């Protein structure tokens, strides 16, 4: 399987890319980022990683970089600005989507706007799976049990 990490050269994106490359689920992890220097440097740390330039504000650039993916991991913020168009493009390509959205309003918008579209496309979309929210939500749920 192939994962594309958008914003893969950033702080959280690079950590996500490293974790995915270290695991056994993905045979390829694409570090997709506008920062060529950091993206190329990171991709050299694992045989599973490749770097691809992406400008997420350019729909053609985004579509090209995610076209062969099994899952798109969106680490590009701010989420109120970029998440909606990225999620829309991902669902249109019938790809699974995960993000680290930490913005309450953006999360609400994504859930309300794309739930039915994702269901129709037969894809899974997980919103808010970052450090906070995400990990903090999991810890609270675990504590409640």
Please report which confidence band the pLDDT of residue 96 belongs to, taking 50, 70 and 90 as the band edges.
very high
Average pLDDT in the chain: 93
Q: Is the pLDDT of residue 136 over 80?
A: no
* pTM tops 0.95: no
**Mean pLDDT over residues 45-63, rounded?**
98
> What mean pLDDT comes out for the span 88-115?
93
Q: At what angle do helices 59-66 and 79-92 cross, to 10 degrees?
A: 60
- Give the architecture (CATH level 2) of 2-144: 3-Layer(aba) Sandwich (3.40)
> In this predicted structure, which of 13-22, 93-102, 117-126, 131-140 has the lowest mean pLDDT?
131-140
Kindly tell me the burial class for residue 23, based on how many C-beta atoms sit within 10 Å of its own C-beta (0-12, 13-18, 19 or more): exposed
Distance CA 84, CA 81 (A): 7
Does 52 score more than 70 pLDDT? Answer: yes
138 pLDDT band, cuts 50/70/90, is low
Please give the Cα distance from 135 to 70 (Å, whole number).
23
User: Domain residues of the chain, as ranges?
Assistant: 2-144
Residue count of the chain:
145
Q: What are phi and psi of 6, to 5 degrees?
A: -75, 135
3-class DSSP state for residue 58?
coil
């Amino acid at each position: 399987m192939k994962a594309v990490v958008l914003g893969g050269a950033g702080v959280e994106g690079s950590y996500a890319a490293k974790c995915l490359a270290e695991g056994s689920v993905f045979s390829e992890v694409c570090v997709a980022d506008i920062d060529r220097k950091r993206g190329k440097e990171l991709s050299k740390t694992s045989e599973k990683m490749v770097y691809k330039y992406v400008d997420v504000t350019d729909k053609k650039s985004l579509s090209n970089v995610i076209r062969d993916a099994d899952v798109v991991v969106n680490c590009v913020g701010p989420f109120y600005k970029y998440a909606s168009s990225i999620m829309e493009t991902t669902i249109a390509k019938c790809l699974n989507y995960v993000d680290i959205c930490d913005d309450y309003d953006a999360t609400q918008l994504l859930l309300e706007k794309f739930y039915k579209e994702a269901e129709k496309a037969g894809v899974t979309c997980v919103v808010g799976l970052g450090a906070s929210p995400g990990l903090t939500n999991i810890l609270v749920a675990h504590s409640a049990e």
